[in-house]
A and B are shown apart, each in its own frame.
Chain A
């Protein structure tokens, strides 16, 4: 390398370079900050044809957004392992937003990590933020029962035996709300329709789910709906027995090309983008974010080939009514299946009504017990 003689021109060049350096540096730093790293934790397999898959699909959609980097870890137990996973994502990968998608991550894992890393935003599925919890926590969930109501309308139109079967995991309030909405939807078509529920007692029990499906078909149900963690087995068994089925969480259409009618699906990309937006805008996350069909937090699987035009039209009308707020699923008079009035005439409990949070009954027309 030859040294250039120092003259007026080269001195000017050097001064100009020095002067612009801060701007150049600043712009590269800004560019390096732009990709937002989002860490996603799943409690199970991303390919479970169920709840985790619905989140994984949203994460895949998030990945396609410009300037967003997604890192994922599946099968993270709801133990101290969740904290380790979150901490790894924050410290090693520089995650600024953590999406903790399983209920059990909230207490104490998300709470502790949020207190430890106040600059990172934590969004948790299903948790409930209350005053006093760290400000950098957001909790989101979706009114899946609105989509179940639409599924119920489709099932109600399609059934010939007037008997619908439903394989459910456990009678938790969220599941009960969905089961009831499904039944209310079906019985809005024909009040003679009965919905028979079988609780398997746990979230994932493939053999018992298949047994339950067989029993329901034996009892004359011609549409089987699944409300378990991974509805694949139920939908598949229903298809084998030649009856129709309704799915849950994500689409199971490909395991039952003939009988799959529709399903209630989560559309998590909407809340994901809300939180990504608040991180980018430097704002506090929405602490309690809940919405349904109207805000595209939930959707229905594309209707199957068996679904009649009449059923489609009824479902579309119901969807428009729900989105417009002119129809309320839980509106009185509503009786439970023991004959007690649970919502008196004239009372409406719209989807965001907190009275529905602690629901502990099955509505009239459901054969089953909490």
Chain B
């Protein structure tokens, strides 16, 4: 097959490729946020954590030469931010949403400041797995050049599902998130569980950030995130606090995001502002369709201060 003539086939291919390439940070951040929210707290600061992770991952990969060490340090940096959020919110009458917003500013600012010398150097990127080896079409090969973190993300979604629904610790986390009083009555360490859940969320968001700088689009720059962290937090609500749904939502979001450029690429040149908004329109439409009027927050953790 000629490389130049795949025509309309490029559209499904771009959506598939986009879903694989673009969705990975969304998967990590949304699953991380899901764990945090299941404990009854919302951490809006993941946008800042994402940027910090992207910077830390790139920096460590550059300094050590090992991208995987970069991923780990991005996670640890995110975890430290999670700990900060967890501790601050454990003080009485501190609002978790406000702390989250201040952590967005702090995380982005810190990442910009420390990341100044990292804009020019080239760090070793994460290797990808060539799953398109069977095809002779270069476009297919390119779309199926999949990063290992993508599979980690998918496995994570299922692991979190099992953890939440089939393990004692998962039950404890859900109890703390649903009813603080019940958790206390059962003798669960409420604050500790929440802090650990926020740290876990921060770790995953940091890893998601490292994907941005180490894989796709693949270098550190200050405009790297452009709001993806915030969007991932919104995806958790969209996914109704279910990890498998969060995975699906991230894939949908990534695939729909590829629609705008891909349609222009195959010659549908008009209405690109509309097509570029496709992920948001789609999210909104599904959200409206799936909302129950009788119990709008039926799936939300009871302690989550979204509806008070």
Contacts and interface: CB of A to CB of B under 8 A. Distances in A.
B261 A200 contact: yes
A218 B261 contact: no
B120 A204 contact: no
B223 A230 contact: yes
B276 A48 contact: no
B267 A207 contact: no
Quick one: which of B222, B223, B262, B266 has the most chain A CB within 10 A? B223
Interface string B212-234: 10001111011110101000000
Interface stretch (B11-19, B31-39, B150-158): B11-19
A368 interface: yes
A209 interface: yes
A44 B222 CA distance: 9
A215 B217 contact: no
Contact of B3 (A220, A233, A240): A220
A198 B261 contact: yes
Interface in B27-52: none
Interface residues of A, number: 42
B296 interface: no
Which of the listed residues A47, A163, A229 has the most CB atoms from chain B within 10 Å of its own CB?
A: A47
Contact of A210 (B120, B217, B266, B273): B217
Interface residues of B, number: 44
Contact of B267 (A236, A237, A367): A367
B266 A219 contact: yes
B276 A218 contact: no
Given A206-B226, A207-B22, A217 B142 contact: yes
Contacts of A217: 142
Contact of B222 (A45, A212, A241, A369): A45
Contact of A230 (B221, B257, B267): B221
A255 interface: yes
B269 A204 contact: no
B228 A207 contact: yes
Nearest to B18: A211
Contacts of A163: 4
Contacts of A197: 264, 269
Contacts of B218: 210, 233, 236-237, 240
B62 to A, nearest CB: 14
A49 B226 CA distance: 17
A200 B267 CA distance: 15
B164 interface: no
A206 B212 CA distance: 10
A10 B266 CA distance: 94
B58 interface: no
Interface of A: 44-45, 47-49, 161, 163, 196-201, 204-212, 214-220, 229-230, 232-233, 236-237, 240-241, 254-255, 367-369
Interface of B: 3-6, 10, 13-14, 17-18, 21-22, 112, 116, 119-120, 122, 139, 142-143, 212, 216-219, 221-224, 226, 228, 257-258, 260-262, 264-267, 269-270, 272-273, 276
